[in-house]
Amino acid sequence: MNDKLILVINPGSTSTKIALFNGLDLLKEVDITHQADDLAGFASNLEQLDFRFAAVEKALTEWNCQPNELKAVIGRGGPLKPLSGGVYHVGASLMQDLQSGKLVDHASILGGLIACRVAESAGIPAYIADPVSVDEFEEIARISGWPELPRISLSHSLNIKAVVAEVAAESGRKPEEMNYIVAHLGGGFSIAAHQKGRQIDVNNANDAGPFSPERCGTLPLTGLLKLACSGKYTFGELKKKLIGKGGLVAYLGTSDCREVARRIDAGDEKARLILEAMAYQIAKEIGAMATVMKGRVDAIILTGGVAHNPKVVPWIKERVEFIAPVIVKPGQNELKALAAHACRALADASIVKEY
């Protein structure tokens, strides 16, 4: 009997992932790819709200599921103000910020908006959980070296916290008892120090840290300043080169680590050098996070799509295994992580936070 139906919505830059759970049991899932031509007419992600909502309505219709059959709706959290981790009720204040147009323009802002629209029609709660703006930094971690530019916590916190909970449970412990370094390796990389249940430090995947399939990571500052002031690029053009066309794309013309591995197997030495350099930088950032926790690290967790790669993972492991055991949890299951948050919220309303 489907008595705990939860709708999960995860909007990405070019797709909307939608899933229907009964508790933690996945019943239906669809990954809707939005073609560039379909999105070209929208000036911002916020303008896509009606378009994306229609996709969710269509999925529910195809699944013969009415909104009033649901117990809750939960969406991916966007780049909101700094928040502690956990599940949040989508109320008036949160909706105001999501609709303001003042947030970083990212598709994830639509998660809460769509969830609220579905929930309102059914009279059920709407939630978001562990948004990218989760901020549990210690104050010392905010200091950058220049007062006008403090370090900001923006990361793949939903997947990071999900794998922390999973690994802790596998050892019969709670996240609050463990110290982990988590390397989320996707299109962008977040390397986090997760101490006693809190994400006390992490690189901002758009600003610093290792280069990744699509992003530049930390760059030589003087050279970047000269390039920015050269007149060669507009702000938008340079930003696109750094975030979206950087990393592997810049060096090798592809963001697909599987393709790079195939080139290496075919004898491409440049491909080998660049991919190994990426693994080198990941390992170096993991080492930095070990110092944050003064060496008291229970395990290093590698997760995200790149953690599937048979070349990158061994290259990382050989450099960091001296710090702590390395646990590989490839891929990410953000839909199930969101469903788990909704289940806990329905079971215990006291854990639900207000924005």
pLDDT tens sequence across 197-231: 999 999 998 899 999 999 999 999 999 999 999 99
Number of other residues whose CB lies within 10 A of the CB of residue 94: 24
Distances (CA, A) of 147 to 59, 133, 142, 203: 48, 20, 10, 18
Number of H helices, E strands in the chain: 12, 11
* Residue 309 in this model has a pLDDT that exceeds 90: yes
96-144 pLDDT per residue, tens: 999 998 888 888 999 999 999 999 989 999 999 999 999 999 999 999 9
For the chain, give the percent of residues with pLDDT over 90.
86
Q: Which residues contact 265 (CB under 8 A, 6 or more apart)?
A: none
**Distance (Å, rounded) from C-alpha 18 to C-alpha 30?**
5
Residue 302 DSSP SS3: strand
Looking at residue 333, its pLDDT comes to 84
What pLDDT band is residue 295 in, cutting at 50, 70 and 90? Answer: very high
C-alpha span between 103 and 107 (Å, rounded): 11
What are the residues whose beta carbons fall under 8 Å from the beta carbon of 305, sequence distance 6 or more? Answer: 185, 186, 187, 257, 330, 331, 332
- Does residue 187 have a pLDDT over 90? no
The whole-number pLDDT of residue 289 equals: 98
* Structure tokens that stand for 232 in this block: 């060669």
Residue 169: its pLDDT value, please?
Answer: 96
Determine the topology of domain 157-330 in CATH.
Answer: Nucleotidyltransferase; domain 5 (3.30.420)
Nearest Cα to 135, choosing from 77, 91, 214?
77
| Tokens linked to 216 | 């530049």
Over residues 328-346, the mean pLDDT reads: 94
What does DSSP assign to residue 281?
H
Alpha-carbon Rg of the chain, whole angstroms? 21
Strand partners, 25: 22
Sheet holding 189-195, edge to edge: 198-202, 189-195, 179-185, 299-304, 326-330
Single pTM value for the model: 0.89
Instruction: Tell me what pLDDT residue 15 has.
Output: 83
CA distance 145 to 286: 21
pLDDT category at 26 given cuts 50, 70, 90 is: very high
Residue 1: per-residue pLDDT: 53
The domain ranges of the chain are 5-135+334-351, 157-330
Could you tell me the CA-to-CA distances from 155 to 14, 27, 226 in Å, in that order?
Answer: 19, 29, 28
pLDDT of residue 2: 66
Specify whether the CB–CB gap between 286 and 183 falls below 8 A. Answer: yes
Q: pLDDT above 70 covers what percent of the chain?
A: 99
The mean pLDDT of 2-19, rounded to a whole number, is: 89
**In this predicted structure, what is the pLDDT of residue 6?**
98
Residue 155 pLDDT more than 60?
yes
Share the mean pLDDT of the chain: 94
**CA distances to 83, 110, 345, 347 from 339, in Å:** 20, 17, 10, 12
CATH number assigned to the domain covering 5-135+334-351:
3.30.420.40
What per-residue confidence (pLDDT) applies to 144? 97
CA dist 172 to 165, 175, 182, 194, 209, Å?
10, 10, 19, 17, 32
Q: Residue 169, class by beta-carbon neighbours within 10 Å (0-12 exposed, 13-18 middle, 19+ buried)?
A: exposed
Q: Which amino acid belongs to residue 276?
A: E
Query: What digits encode the pLDDT tens for the residues 55-106?
Result: 999 999 999 999 999 999 999 998 999 999 999 999 999 999 999 988 888 8
